[in-house]
């Protein structure tokens, strides 16, 4: 006898024709992200979820917080992982630091600076911007002059501009911000785990990153931190944070000793992030930064041997992300397609102002290895000869 589920309804939409089991192609991800996850991270992630209030899970959360503090070199109590990709953690910094009407100064020198502007505007900030062309960095004098002129409540800047391959020097900026009673908000998405960062020493007040670039984890869980000065501003707010999901005033009660339920944590991604950060701690920050610098220097030499030029001058170049100029007459997209078709290698194209003008090549975390550089240089040299 057929079970009646509902009096007069029946299934009308047919299921998709029988799908084969999932197969994921093997790729070498040498673009701007994601990068390949360390096999140990995949193994850690591939286990049964447990409850997000389970004592074992709460211990893991504490471990992740400690590991993040080490990775950023900060003692900020309010340091945790946001459920979402880097953009969610980015939005978390803006949502928590900005009240409607606050003046926010964004120093824009690439694509992600524009994203910060967009987000700050959505939270009602009075946004002012200063600009540098795509491939350059700001000087401390320029930033200090802008602080003098605009007197912002928050200065937002990208440490590692993934759209241009520029590393923004941050020495002295935190002190200048503190002198101007301004919070310093820094995007460390493409620097964390690959490029030296000294968050406390640099007096950074809000920072965020992602899991799938320098940390070699799967995407979907993102480091976030606020200094005591930023927390004090949060506590002084006249209005609650406009984004419920990202509200640090609520989330700190889950990540802190009270353990108040907020939302279901991405449990398996926490396993993954813990393992990625444990790998980083095993290697040690200095060794890891050195490995990234050495692999990148080796890559830059190989590019020069192929007759290719980097877009950014060496002193400002990120070891995690290199922008390589597309030679005249070469179709950048065709090269990317060929690298994927013949070698299973993914590289990125130019974004925004640099669209069609550069390739963006990431050597991050687990992928920062000379053997991958050798594979890429061989493939790139071959494809360029074929397409010439």
> Residue 159 Cβ, how far from ligand PLP at the closest point, in Å?
8
Q: Which is nearer to ligand PLP, 28 or 160 (CB)?
A: 160
> Residue 19 Cβ, how far from ligand PLP at the closest point, in Å?
28
User: Would you count residue 113 as binding ligand PLP (CB under 6 A)?
Assistant: no
**Region near ligand PLP per CB under 6 A, out of 10-18, 81-89, 98-106, 141-149:** 81-89
User: Would you count residue 33 as binding ligand PLP (CB under 6 A)?
Assistant: yes
User: Would you count residue 86 as binding ligand PLP (CB under 6 A)?
Assistant: yes
User: Would you count residue 210 as binding ligand PLP (CB under 6 A)?
Assistant: yes
CA distance 185 to 227: 10
Q: Which of 83, 166, 189, 310 binds ligand PLP (CB under 6 A)?
A: 189
Report yes or no: 69 and 119 within 8 Å, Cβ to Cβ. Answer: no
> Residue 50 Cβ, how far from ligand PLP at the closest point, in Å?
25
> Residue 382 Cβ, how far from ligand PLP at the closest point, in Å?
29
**Region near ligand PLP per CB under 6 A, out of 58-66, 155-163, 233-241, 281-289:** 155-163
User: Would you count residue 216 as binding ligand PLP (CB under 6 A)?
Assistant: no
CA distance 269 to 279: 15
> Residue 90 Cβ, how far from ligand PLP at the closest point, in Å?
6
Q: Which of 162, 164, 216, 227 binds ligand PLP (CB under 6 A)?
A: 162
Q: Nearest-CB residue to ligand PLP?
A: 86
Beta bridge partners of residue 221, listed in sequence order? 83
Q: Which of 95, 158, 231, 310 binds ligand PLP (CB under 6 A)?
A: 158
Q: Which is nearer to ligand PLP, 105 or 189 (CB)?
A: 189
User: Would you count residue 85 as binding ligand PLP (CB under 6 A)?
Assistant: yes
Q: Which is nearer to ligand PLP, 210 or 379 (CB)?
A: 210
Q: Which of residues 347-376 bind ligand PLP (CB under 6 A)?
A: none
Site residues, ligand PLP (CB under 6 A): 33, 85-87, 90, 112, 158, 160, 162, 187, 189-190, 210, 219
């Amino acid at each position: 006898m057929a079970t009646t589920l509902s009096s007069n309804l029946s299934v009308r939409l047919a299921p998709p024709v029988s799908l084969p089991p999932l197969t994921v192609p093997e790729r070498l991800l040498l673009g701007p992200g994601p990068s390949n996850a360390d096999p140990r991270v995949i193994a850690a992630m591939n286990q049964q979820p447990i409850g997000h209030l389970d004592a074992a899970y709460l211990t893991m959360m504490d471990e992740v917080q400690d590991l993040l503090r080490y990775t950023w070199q900060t003692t900020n109590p309010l340091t945790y992982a946001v459920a979402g990709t880097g953009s969610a953690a980015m939005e978390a910094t803006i949502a928590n630091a900005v009240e409607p009407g606050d003046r926010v100064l964004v120093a824009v020198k690439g694509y992600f600076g524009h994203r910060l502007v967009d987000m700050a505007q959505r939270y009602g900030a009075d946004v002012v911007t200063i600009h540098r062309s795509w491939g350059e960095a700001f000087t401390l004098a320029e930033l200090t002059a802008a602080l003098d002129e605009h007197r912002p409540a928050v200065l937002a800047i990208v440490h590692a501009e993934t759209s241009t391959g520029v590393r923004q020097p941050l020495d002295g900026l935190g002190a200048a911000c503190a002198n101007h009673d301004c919070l310093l908000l820094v995007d460390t998405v493409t620097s964390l785990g690959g490029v030296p960062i000294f968050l406390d020493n640099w007096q950074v007040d809000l920072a965020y990153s992602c899991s799938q670039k320098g940390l070699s984890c799967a995407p979907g869980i993102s480091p976030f931190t606020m200094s005591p000065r930023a927390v004090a501003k949060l506590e002084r707010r006249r209005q609650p944070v406009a984004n419920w999901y990202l509200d640090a005033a609520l989330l700190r009660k889950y990540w802190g000793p009270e353990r108040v339920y907020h939302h279901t944590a991405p449990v398996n991604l926490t396993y993954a992030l813990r393992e990625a950060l444990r790998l980083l701690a095993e290697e040690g920050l200095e060794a890891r930064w050195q490995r990234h610098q050495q692999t990148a220097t080796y890559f830059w030499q190989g590019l020069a041997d192929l007759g290719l030029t980097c877009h950014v001058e060496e002193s400002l170049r990120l070891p995690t992300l290199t922008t390589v100029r597309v030679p005249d007459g070469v179709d950048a997209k065709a090269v990317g397609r060929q690298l994927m078709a013949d070698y299973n290698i993914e590289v990125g194209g130019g974004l925004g102002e640099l669209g069609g003008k550069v390739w963006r090549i990431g050597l991050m975390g687990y992928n920062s290895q000379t053997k991958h550089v050798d594979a890429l240089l061989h493939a790139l040299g071959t494809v360029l000869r074929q397409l010439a």
